[in-house]
Structure 1
Amino acid sequence: MKLKDKVCVVTGAASGIGKEIALTFAREGARIVIADLNLDAANATAAEIDAIGGGAMGVAMDVTDEAQVNAGIAAVVAAWGGIDVLVSNAGIQIVHPLEDFPFAEWKKMLAIHLDGAFLTTKACLPHMYASGRGGSVIYMGSVHSKEASLLKAPYVTAKHGLIGLAKVVAKEGAAHGVRANVICPGFVRTPLVDKQIPEQAKTLGISEDEVVKTVMLKDTVDGEFTTTADVAEVALLFASFPSNALTGQSLVVSHGWFMQ
């Protein structure tokens, strides 16, 4: 097992990509912290992991609230003694043309994606440093960490920013064996993406089918959505990699939508 007894915190893990990562890590022997705004849903996912023989706990966490983040991480350390892996996955999507984007919604987007990554990293790093085992910090970026799309100014801005944050964490954490990397998925058919399809259809004046074919998947090599399992496998690679050879990097998983 690649993550035997590793303590892994996954934010936004009650559903979607985060849940798939949590389940994948659990199958590799990790102890999983389901950190989510919705505690009932987090506990339900933790129970699902327990039922397949893993170890899991749910933690209520608003990643934009420093006190709540710190309390959640402290509870994990009290229960399990440390933290080995952080997957900063919590995120939302709001779409508007830039000239119509409410400032409050811009700030909300940046807070969840960037402040959340910063606060959870800041809370976890001292425990990774103190353990002597090193660790792995994984940020959920996007193809929008490399590219831009219409209607998504704060999302694109935040996802670009995560690459910069990962590079700093990689440099500062290297002496302690802590790696930091970014996963950059293409469109994954989650509730977050399903919500965008009618919103973009309305804003762009096209059908929902056209949004999928001519906006979301038009630049892929095969017209396919990236799957949660695809993303989880990359997360497992980053979490289990044995050395600083793979750090400060961003890996695109997008059916060829963006090629480096």
Structure 2
Amino acid sequence: MKLDGKVALVTGAASGIGHAIAKRYVEAGGRVAIADLNLDAAEAAAKEIGDAKTAIAVAMDVSSEEQVNAGVEKTAATFGTIDILVSNAGIQIVHPIEEFPFAAWKKMLAIHLDGAFLTTKACVKYMYKQKSGSLIYMGSVHSHEASPLKSAYVTAKHGLLGLARTMAKEGAKYGVRANVICPGFVRTPLVDKQIPEQAKELGISEERVIREVMLGETVDKEFTTVEDIAEVALVLAAFNTNALTGQSITASHGWHMG
């Protein structure tokens, strides 16, 4: 599938899943703005995957309305419009509910939900004007399932389903689609960080965390890859009718089927 010059804003794209998506979009003929809290890393990623005509770096704290609006405006000013939003920026914090700091809860929801809301609000004005666009939210198997220690994360990822479904209905008359990608465990620094944390909280070995907690419900005991998710993101970005909107697509080696 080809993007033919379409412009994408990808948040949290200096590394991990977001970086893989941005790279795949450029390979498919798209132009991307790599939005990240770490501007130096975003600039390095932009130089890695493209040139000044195909990839730019944007400093963005997705929980800041001012930074989101400025980053979106810079992207549109550079490339002329915005055709695709990939709301990917996210973090993970694990605690049992009785020990979960309220500040950490609020931080989780601000990055995952406020970030998706703010970037959507800023991007749709360009999409609505041109009568086309694709909103892609990075959910998780935890958009459908729950796991111990992840109350804030599971709540946030469930919330993205509601936002995407609402935007599918609001955006339809403007040719704007909204969908959620729901990866299983992808071996990124975010996941690597969880392994010792969960081993400590659950009182089991790191090997058991990987084998039983992370991959126990998969069909083949394999991690999903960033490249897997990038391919799904390309399909959703390039698909051009409302036949595919308001959906959650799970890529998880069979963990959660439905």
Partner SS, residue 169 of structure 1: helix
Once the two structures are TM-superposed, the CA of residue 35 in structure 1 deviates from its matched residue by: 0.2
- Counterpart of 1:141, as a letter, is G
Percent identity reads 69
Per-residue CA deviation, residues 117-164 of structure 1 (Å, 9 max, x unaligned), is 0000000000111123x0000000000000000100000000000000
2:248 corresponding residue in structure 1: 250
Q: Note if 1:82 corresponds to 2:74.
A: no
- Counterpart of 1:12, as a letter, is G
1:123 corresponding residue in structure 2: 122
Once the two structures are TM-superposed, the CA of residue 90 in structure 1 deviates from its matched residue by: 0.1
Per-residue CA deviation, residues 73-103 of structure 1 (Å, 9 max, x unaligned), is 1111111111000000000000000110000
Instruction: Give me the whole-angstrom Cα distance separating, in 1, the residues matched to 2:171 and 2:116.
Output: 15
2:48 corresponding residue in structure 1: 48
Could you tell me the TM-score, scaled by structure 1's length?
0.98
Once the two structures are TM-superposed, the CA of residue 4 in structure 1 deviates from its matched residue by: 1.1
- The answer to whether the Cα contact below 8 Å between 1:96 and 1:151 also exists between their aligned partners in 2 is yes
From 225, 230, 233, the equivalent of 2:231 is 233
- The answer to whether the Cα contact below 8 Å between 1:8 and 1:83 also exists between their aligned partners in 2 is yes
Structure 1: gaps (5+ residues): none
Could you tell me the TM-score, scaled by structure 2's length?
0.98
1:21 corresponding residue in structure 2: 21
- The answer to whether the Cα contact below 8 Å between 1:84 and 1:135 also exists between their aligned partners in 2 is yes
- Counterpart of 2:252, as a letter, is S
1:199 corresponding residue in structure 2: 197
Deviation beyond 4 Å, 4+ runs, structure 1: none
- Counterpart of 2:5, as a letter, is D
Per-residue CA deviation, residues 91-116 of structure 1 (Å, 9 max, x unaligned), is 00000001100000000000000000
1:32 corresponding residue in structure 2: 32
Instruction: Give me the whole-angstrom Cα distance separating, in 1, the residues matched to 2:184 and 2:78.
Output: 36
Instruction: Give me the whole-angstrom Cα distance separating, in 2, the residues matched to 1:54 and 1:220.
Output: 41
2:57 corresponding residue in structure 1: 58
- The answer to whether the Cα contact below 8 Å between 1:89 and 1:139 also exists between their aligned partners in 2 is yes
Matches for 1:67-78 after TM superposition, within 5 Å: 67-78=66-77
- The answer to whether the Cα contact below 8 Å between 1:27 and 1:54 also exists between their aligned partners in 2 is no
Instruction: Give me the whole-angstrom Cα distance separating, in 1, the residues matched to 2:16 and 2:135.
Output: 19
Instruction: Give me the whole-angstrom Cα distance separating, in 1, the residues matched to 2:138 and 2:53.
Output: 23
Per-residue CA deviation, residues 200-249 of structure 1 (Å, 9 max, x unaligned), is 00111111000000100001000000010111111011100020000000
Instruction: Give me the whole-angstrom Cα distance separating, in 1, the residues matched to 2:107 and 2:152.
Output: 9
Instruction: Give me the whole-angstrom Cα distance separating, in 2, the residues matched to 1:69 and 1:54.
Output: 22
State how many pairs are aligned: 258
- Counterpart of 1:44, as a letter, is A
- The answer to whether the Cα contact below 8 Å between 2:93 and 2:150 also exists between their aligned partners in 1 is yes
Once the two structures are TM-superposed, the CA of residue 54 in structure 1 deviates from its matched residue by: 6.8
Instruction: Give me the whole-angstrom Cα distance separating, in 1, the residues matched to 2:74 and 2:10.
Output: 14
